[in-house]
Structure 1
Amino acid sequence: MKNKTTQLTLSFVSLLLGVLIAVQLRSAADVYNAVPDLRVTEMRAVLMETITQNQLLTRELEEARDKLRQFEEMAMRGEGALELIEAELNNARMLAGLVDVSGPGLTVILTDSQAPAMPGDNPNVYIVHDEDLLKLVNVLAAAGAEAISINDQRLLATSEIHCAGPTISINNIRVGAPFVIKAIGNPETMESALRMRDGIVDTLNFYGIGVQVKREANLVIPAYKRPLRFDYARPEGGGK
């Protein structure tokens, strides 16, 4: 059983290393094929981009080699390899939004304006719209938020935020005001990004939209609850 576990571990990591090497070689081949049709200035630009990409790939390759060495050493001693793989899987689950996460961050609450609309004003400007949530989420993400939810709907790369009548659809779930946005990350950095001059908070306040921003020592953001489905996207390289 121990030998099988060792072989499985080494095979798993060797496959990862092989994929990284293949990506590096493929990237170099793609650039080489494109060079003959480019002018000298374009070739310089391609060269600089290739150097940058190669440096990134080299760094990733070294990290993979380091992990491979760790796996090999642990497998030889019969200890720790499976635990290290489990830690990697847990990191992947967190990045994919498939587990509850906790940490410091911000709670932001948006409420529709309570001010009466002036004659001739469009009443729609006094309520929270999907674009307001999108802008807010983008600011938080750019400020380093590692996990974000709106009314306990965990946001993924595939999550939609769009108007659905008087409500807003998030992950195909309709939610309404007040909108409670939770973001895990550096509270000071994220709040500064929200409150920058003429930023998202100033814009919402201009229309009377209620904005409450509170720093939290510990937040819990729930996992994404709905099934993940991919009809068109497939793993690169023909993986199943």
Structure 2
Amino acid sequence: MNKFKKWQNGFLLILALIAGLSVGLLIKQALTVHETEGPDLAALETASLDLSEEEARYQILKAQNEELENRKKVLLNRFGDNEDLAGVLDEFHENALLAGMSGVEGRGIILSLDDKINYDPLTDPIESIIHDSTINYVLNLLWAGGARAVAFNGIRLTAVSEISCVGPTILCYGVRQMPPYVIEAIGPVEDLEAVLYTDSYLAHLTQNKIGVRLTVQKSETVRLPSFSQTHDYLPYINWLREP
């Protein structure tokens, strides 16, 4: 009888241990699930907020698009009622000309700038190579001299012109340029030549000690491309996401 009771107590003890282990495992699994659900729940909430913001932006853009469509309809109706459509087109072409969005030709000059021959960075001054500041200086001279349209290495310059320097390379609208640098300008030839030949800084650059090479040629027909042939205005305009 005592042996049976001892066996029974031992069996109950084993059952209690098994039950305790089972409860512990269940608690551990519950905690693990809670921990893994935490980041997922936070990510879900963040995604929900982002979705709400995008939906709000979509509604704003939708309203703007509807407004633009209404404006377009009004303009088209005006064109339909306007017998002098040629006048509107003439104004459009004039604005395109002023903005550099149409190709042009006329009398002007072709200017070339190049680094000093056999430039040695150890002995020659830094001014012996062409920098973006040199190009911008010459461009400002040409505009001041009456230039009406200008191109740099075949790229039409406009009000959003962007010429910068990265190491030994000059960038124009982000496009790498290499010497010789050619500037074409349409305008009063004599005035353009005068501002170049009488400028003291250019005289300084072209002396033998500095050695910058500068040539200027007259031309009865200088043809310049439109800005739209090589570039687009959109990267230079900040689009507003809200009205």
The answer to whether the superposition gives a TM-score over 0.5 is yes
Change in CA separation of 1:157 and 1:118 when aligned onto 2, cut-off 3 Å: closer
Same amino acid, percent of matched pairs: 28
Q: Which residue of 1 aligns with 2:98?
A: 95
Selected match of 2:194 from 187, 192, 195:
192
Q: TM-score, normalised by structure 2?
A: 0.60
Q: TM-score, normalised by structure 1?
A: 0.60
Shift of 1:83: 1.7
Query: Can you give the 5+ residue segments of structure 2 that lack an aligned partner in the other structure?
Result: 1-73
SS at match of 1:132: helix
Give the number of the structure with larger relative contact order, counting CA–CA contacts within 8 Å between residues 6 or more apart.
2
Shift of 1:197: 4.6
d(CA) in 1 for partners of 2:166, 2:122 = 27
Per-residue deviation, residues 98-119 of structure 1 (Å, max 9, x unmatched): 1111111110011111165596
Per-residue deviation, residues 66-107 of structure 1 (Å, max 9, x unmatched): xxxxxxxxx6xx5xx222221211111111111111111110
Which amino acid in the other structure matches residue 147 of structure 1?
A: A
d(CA) in 1 for partners of 2:177, 2:136 = 14
Q: Which residue of 2 aligns with 1:8?
A: 78
d(CA) in 2 for partners of 1:204, 1:9 = 56
SS at match of 1:131: helix
SS at match of 1:99: coil
Q: Which residue of 1 aligns with 2:27?
A: none
Are residue 226 (structure 1) and residue 227 (structure 2) matched? no
Q: Contact conserved, 2:150 with 2:157, CA < 8 A, in 1?
A: yes
How many residue pairs end up in the alignment? 164
Selected match of 2:157 from 152, 155, 158:
155
Q: Which residue of 2 aligns with 1:138?
A: 140
Q: Contact conserved, 2:154 with 2:225, CA < 8 A, in 1?
A: yes
Query: Can you give the 5+ residue segments of structure 1 that lack an aligned partner in the other structure?
Result: 12-74, 235-239
Structure-to-structure mapping, 1:110-129, within 5 angstroms: 110-114=113-117, 117=120, 120-122=123-125, 124-129=126-131
Per-residue deviation, residues 113-159 of structure 1 (Å, max 9, x unmatched): 1165596443x321111111000000001111111111101111112
Instruction: Tell me the C-alpha RMSD between the 2 structures.
Output: 2.9
Structure-to-structure mapping, 1:159-170, within 5 angstroms: 159-170=161-172
Shift of 1:184: 0.6
d(CA) in 2 for partners of 1:169, 1:143 = 24
d(CA) in 2 for partners of 1:188, 1:106 = 9
d(CA) in 1 for partners of 2:120, 2:93 = 50
SS at match of 2:107: strand
Change in CA separation of 1:191 and 1:5 when aligned onto 2, cut-off 3 Å: same
Shift of 1:8: 2.1
